[in-house]
Structure 1
Amino acid sequence: MAKKFELNEVEVWDGNYAASQALRQAQVDVVAAYPITPSTPIVENYGAYQANGYVEGEFVMV
């Protein structure tokens, strides 16, 4: 089971961070991505969520 991710304060997010949060909240099974600017932060953030146990989905680099 994925760890719970809590936000206790108001935060300002850019679009890439918001997209990575949407992936986390959707609990997708597979993320297939080609990290290229300007979307690289989405892939990096999702990878961090996976490494820290916040998501259980598979990450596939294409």
Structure 2
Amino acid sequence: MAKEFELNEMEFWDGNYAASQALRQAQVDVVAAYPITPSTPIVENYGAYQANGYVDGEFVMVESEH
């Protein structure tokens, strides 16, 4: 079971952070991603959520964009 993640104050997010929050909130089972600029922060944030127990999904690092 994933831990609860609380936001207690107003925050301003960029698009990458918002996308990673959407993945966290959706509790997806698998994320397959190729970390390439400008989307690298999405993958980094999801990895941090996984490491800290906020998501139970699996992360698959693909080897190319194609």
* TM-score category of the 2 structures, normalised to the smaller one: over 0.9
CA radius of gyration, larger in = 2
Number of matched residues? 62
Q: Taking every aligned residue pair, what percent have the same amino acid on both sides?
A: 94
CA positional deviation for 1:16: 0.1
TM-score by length of 1: 0.99
RMSD: 0.2
Q: How many Å separate the matches in 2 of 1:12 and 1:26? A: 20
Q: How many Å separate the matches in 1 of 2:59 and 2:42? A: 12
Structure 2: stretches of 5+ with no match in the other structure = none
Where has structure 1 moved over 2 Å in runs of 4 or more?
A: none
Structure 1: stretches of 5+ with no match in the other structure = none
